[in-house]
Structure 1
Amino acid sequence: MEATIKKLVTLKGEIKWYVDCGDFKQALVHTKNALALAPSCRDLQAQNVRILLHQKEFGQIADFCTAIVQKQQAIYSKPAIRGGLNTQSLMEKTVDEIKLVGIDLGLLWATSLHYQNRAEDAIRIVNALEVVAPCSSHVIRLKRQWQDMKQLKHNGNEHFKRGEYQEAVRFYSEAVQIDGQHQEYCAVIYCNRAAAQMGLERYHTAILDCNEALQRKPKYPRALLRRARCHVALKMYHEAVKDFDRYLREHPADSSSDTADDVRRERNEAKAAIAKAREEARQREAAKKRAEREQRQQRHWGQTWEDSRFYDGFRRNTSSSGTGYRYKSSGPSGRASFMAPKTQRRTHYDVLGIEKVATIDQIKKAYRKLALVYHPDKAKTSTHAELFKEMTAAYNVLSDESARSKYDRELIYNRFGNFYES
């Protein structure tokens, strides 16, 4: 006996340790070992059901509680009941069962039935618990919790039917906070709240609610369809097609229904939208490449034309005059003159390829542009070097406001005559 008690104490300590560590599988094994030593211990019975409840083994909970009831009935049954007709009502039988299993185990049994969405059976057990323990705060709290869950869901549904989506969201949000472990109930509430969010055109939020519903109830067709339609509303067509296909794959029984026909139509529309978006993207990319190609061609031909015009003009002038024109110092006065005949000279404006009304910024820009091509560091021929000298001479005059003014007067009055500096 002492050895059994010591072993039982050791097992209880190990059970607590495994539960605290979250290793419910090992906790369940040790609980069963402890029950083998003390099968009538209500603490161990309740511990066993709590672990099964955490693991969502609702069927095992029902079997375990039923086995306890049958065992206790076999011990305490009266001969009159075995031999005669049983005239007890269902409620009376349930009360007797609760007396046999105890309050704690009865509460867990009712909770497991409620988690399976067997509301009538769960409420019947709670009502029996009220008869057996009318003042139990645990029984009162559990019953009130279920009433609140039912009422909040009802209120949310009523507001949704009236199109009062914001109020519906508020009630659903309260409902989902009551018992987060009730997977079936929470899945329905999240799905309903997603519908209300869709009514408010909050499609991203609705998708999150659908995800919550599907996490708790993976094969939930209504949540899957609502998420697909949210994806369509957000033009997330690839995700929508995946959800539509998943619905048709997981629910083949509906393949001949009107709902399935609607789903196929919506899926085909989403696929068509994908094809259209892909074609539009292809056209945009083609247009972009075409525009870039045209810009490159324009830059190429523009540069070629400018270089050709500049070089041809230079050749015409140099072929007839030999050296074009140059400035020549004329003593202390700093006088300079054009050495070539008037008809053979180009103006500084012609050299830089600009208009006579060009601004100083335009002059600088034109000079820099030509310098990139004809600078001595980049010059490929002696002709290019000559061109750079002409460009520099023209720029030195035109970039100086006073010198440019005198040069302009010289052009007007002397028609390419001598240019004097005072």
Structure 2
Amino acid sequence: MENSADNNMETNEDVAEAKKNEGNICYKNKDYTKAIQLYTEAIDMCPTSPNYYNNRAAAFIMLDKYQKGLEDVQRAIGIDSTLVKAYLREAKCHLALGFADASVRSLNRVIELDPHNKQAQSELRAAKLVQHHDKDSDKAFESGDFRKVVYLMDRAIEHSPASTKFKVKRAEALAKMRRFSEASQSINAILVRESLNADAIFVRGLCLYYQDIMDKAIQHFQQTLRLAPDHSDARVALKKCKLLKSKKEEGNETFKGGKYQEAYELYTQALAVDPLNVNTNAKIYCNRATVCAKLKKLDQAIEDCTKALELDPEYLKAFMRRAKCYMETEQYEDAVRDYEKISQMDRTRENQSLLKEAKLELKKSKRKDYYKLLKVTKNATEDEIKKAYKKHALLHHPDRHSSKSEEDKKAEEVKFKEVGEAYSVLSDAKKKMRYDSGQDLEDMDGGFSGFDPNQIFTSFFGHPAGFPFGGGGGHHRDSGYYNSGFPGGFQFQFG
């Protein structure tokens, strides 16, 4: 019986060795799947041979199955703790998976066993380089230098192609940089292989959160915490997400209810929740700008729209709100610039019409503003225009300023003439209509060539003796002047 058992064992070992040799041939022919099958048969027949595990690990590594390769070389080392090739492969698997510290330990063990092993020395340099990349990326992440994080992780992944940790860190940095498409692609590739990877689920949640898809983001953060209850980043993100969502929604409801000051305060609180959430904050700035417009705080509305556009340069709604505020504050050049951008982004008839209107107002703004000269509104009645003319004509008539310097007298003469021009246009229904429509002044019945403001003045006040209106001469003033009753007590001597 004993001899029979010995013969069977010898037969098993011989068969196992033959399977291993056949597996080696398949390995050399790059048929790694078949090689793994043969090595496995050899292991089943002789499970105490470290070389069989080591060989199967090599085939797993060639198929990028580093975790399985690591398990096999560790079994080999458990059987023979002096097997240099196993330690080299263990180091390779550790590094490929992103465990640089473990790779360094394995390689140091190789050097202990074989001090002149050049492969170990070369791979040790690579492992230490990955260690530096990992540590430096942590510092860059803390400082907010996410571009550097991506660069360092790209370099690390060159040596650690199967590192989920490095790929997740890179994807999170991409999300912080608002490169959501790239971040999502990377994370989705990880989740195809590891559907319950808590860190990957967390980063997918971040991508949703930063794109203002709050409900789905909350679901992802909650799933992360179910899988990893101590995941502090997910806990913080979930709290911010819920708070930001509630403040924004409260602001919206309060605005709809006409409580504008309360809505302003809620939007302001929302903006303080997370400065990194660019997309959501852009919308909140635009919402707050709408509130400011309702509160007649147009300058702040413009400022909030500008902040929204700094966060999202293609935010059409913010351009529309800012352009409208520019129009209302008569900043027509800025309004034209915004409406041109709007028309490029959304070429509708309505937007083209708004641009045309802004250009017309800009053109009109470059002319003399006759309404401002007379200090009346565009809806002023004929009587209001007459009263305004009387007041300002008396205020700027050159005779009233005869004692001033030549420079001041000339300035008053210009103002007196402009007041006359303003009245001549605004008191004439046809001219006023053409003026309001933006027609150039030069096109109005020959413009103002030969225009004499004194004629209009005389039509209101007559031609008092001793006042040679319309050109030069001394202006006499004595106790016989008649007080006209107009502002300033300006007096005229009538015959």
TM over 0.5: yes
Q: 1:55 to 1:261 in 2, by over 3 A?
A: closer
Q: What do the CA deviations read for 1:235-285 (whole angstroms, capped 9, x no partner)? A: 222222222232222211xx13xx437625752563364155467799999
Distance 1:179 1:18, change over 3 A: closer
How far apart, in 2, do the equivalents of 1:13 and 1:135 lie? 22
Q: How does 1:230-379 map to 2 (within 5 A)?
A: 230-252=325-347, 255-256=348-349, 259-260=350-351, 263-264=354-355, 266-267=357-358, 270-271=361-362, 273-277=364-368, 288-289=413-414
Q: 1:229 to 1:117 in 2, by over 3 A?
A: same
DSSP 3-state at the match of 1:189: helix
Q: Does 1:192 align with 2:287?
A: yes
What aligned pairs does 1:113-124 form with structure 2 within 5 A after superposition?
Answer: 113-124=208-219
Three-state SS of the structure 1 residue aligned to 2:254 is helix
Q: Which residue of 2 aligns with 1:221?
A: 316
Residues 377-420 of structure 1 deviation map (CA, whole Å, 9 limit, x = unaligned) = xxxxxxxxxxxxxxxxxxxxxxxxxxxxxxxxxxxxxxxxxxxx
Are the structure 2 counterparts of residues 131 and 56 from structure 1 closer, same or farther at C-alpha, using a change threshold of 3 Å? same
Unpaired stretches in structure 1, ≥5 consecutive residues: 73-96, 306-422
Call closer, same or farther: CA 1:137–1:243 in 2, change over 3 Å. same
Which is bigger in relative contact order (C-alpha 8 A, separation at least 6)? Answer: 1
One-letter amino acid of the counterpart of residue 263, structure 1: L
Q: Is the 8 A contact 2:214 2:245 kept in 1?
A: no
Please name the residue that 1:59 is paired with. 181
SS at match of 1:235: coil
- 2: distance between equivalents of 1:40 and 1:231? 55
Question: Aligned pair in 2 of structure 1 residues 15, 146: CA closer, same or farther (>3 Å)?
Answer: closer
Give the distance between the partners of 1:225 and 1:55, measured in 2 at CA. 26
Alpha-carbon distance in structure 1 between the residues aligned to 2:148 and 2:355? 48
Alignment-derived partner of residue 47 in structure 1: 169
Cα distance in 2 for residues equivalent to 1:199 and 1:280: 26
Structure 2 match to 1:210? 305
Alignment match, 1:109 = 204
Task: Write the distance in 1 (CA, Å) between the matches of 2:133 and 2:243.
Answer: 39
For the 8 Å contact 1:45–1:105, the answer to whether it is kept is no
Cα distance, 1:191 vs structure 2 = 0.5
Cα deviation for residue 192 of structure 1 reads 0.5
CA contact (8 A) 1:15 1:31 kept: yes
3-state SS in 2 of match to 1:7: helix
Separation in 2, partners of 1:23, 1:182 = 16
- Residue 205 of structure 2 contacts residue 216 of structure 2 at CA under 8 Å; is this kept in 1? yes
Is residue 2:244 matched to residue 1:149?
yes
Q: Which one has a bigger Cα radius of gyration?
A: 1
Shift in alpha-carbon separation, 1:22–1:183, aligned structure 2, 3 A: closer
CA distance, structure 1, for counterparts of residue 372 and residue 265 of structure 2: 42
Q: Secondary structure at the match of 2:130?
A: helix
Name the structure 1 match of 2:269: 174
Distance (whole Å) between structure 2 residues aligned to residue 216 and residue 194 of structure 1: 14
Structure 2 CA distance for aligned equivalents of residues 12 and 168 of structure 1 = 45
Match of 1:201 among 284, 292, 296: 296
Cα RMSD between the aligned structures? Answer: 3.9
The Cα shift of 1:144 comes to 2.8
Q: CA deviation at 1:163?
A: 1.5
2:150 is the counterpart of 1:28? yes
Q: Counterpart of 2:120?
A: none
Distance 1:290 1:48 in 2: 68
Judged with a 3 Å threshold, the aligned counterparts in structure 2 of structure 1 residues 225 and 148 are, in CA distance, closer, same or farther, namely same
TM-score by length of 1: 0.55
- With over 3 angstroms needed to count, the CA separation of the structure-2 counterparts of 1:173 and 1:278, relative to structure 1, is same
Q: Determine the C-alpha separation between the residues in 2 that align with 1:193 and 1:21.
A: 30
Deviation by residue 1:159-218 (Cα, 9 ceiling, x = unmatched): 111221100000000111111111111111000100111111111111110101111111
Q: Deviations over 1:266-306 (max 9, x none)?
A: 525633641554677999998744869x9xx9999559x9x
Given that 2:319 and 2:342 are in contact with CA atoms closer than 8 Å, whether structure 1 keeps it comes out as yes
CA change 1:133–1:28 in 2 (3 A) is: closer
| Count of residue pairs the alignment pairs up | 274
Rounded to whole Å, the distance in 1 between the matches of 2:143 and 2:315 is 33
- State how far apart, in whole Å, the 2-side matches of 1:147 and 1:129 are: 15
Name which of structure 1's ranges 225-234 and 189-198 shifts more when overlaid on structure 2.
225-234
Q: Structure 1 pair 36/289, CA: closer, same or farther in 2 (3 Å)?
A: same
1:383 is matched with which residue?
Answer: none
- Residue 13 of structure 2 aligns with which residue? none
Contact 2:271 2:281 in 1 (8 A): yes
Tell me, yes or no, if the aligned pair for 1:160 and 1:168 is still in contact at 8 Å. yes
Q: Does the 8 Å CA contact 1:184/1:216 hold for their aligned counterparts?
A: yes
Answer whether contact 2:206 2:217 (CA < 8 A) is retained. Answer: yes
Contact 1:168 1:196 in 2 (8 A): yes
User: Residue 240 of structure 1 contacts residue 270 of structure 1 at CA under 8 Å; is this kept in 2?
Assistant: no
Give the secondary structure class of the aligned counterpart of 1:228.
Answer: helix
Which letter maps to 1:235?
Answer: E
Q: Which amino acid aligns with 1:12?
A: D
Cα distance in 1 for residues equivalent to 2:176 and 2:137 = 14
Distance 1:68 1:167, change over 3 A: same
**CA positional deviation for 1:18:** 5.6
Identity over aligned pairs, percent: 23
Structure 2 unaligned segments of length 5 or more: list them: 1-90, 92-106, 108-123, 375-395, 397-409, 418-453, 455-468, 477-495
User: Quick one: structure 1 residues 135 and 28, their matched pair in 2 at CA, closer, same or farther if it must change by over 3 Å?
Assistant: closer
Q: Tell me the distance in 1 between the aligned counterparts of 2:136 and 2:249.
A: 45
State the TM-score, normalized to the length of structure 2.
0.48
Q: From the superposition, tell whether residues 246 and 45 of structure 1 become closer, same or farther in structure 2 (CA, over 3 Å).
A: closer
Cα distance in 2 for residues equivalent to 1:274 and 1:132: 64
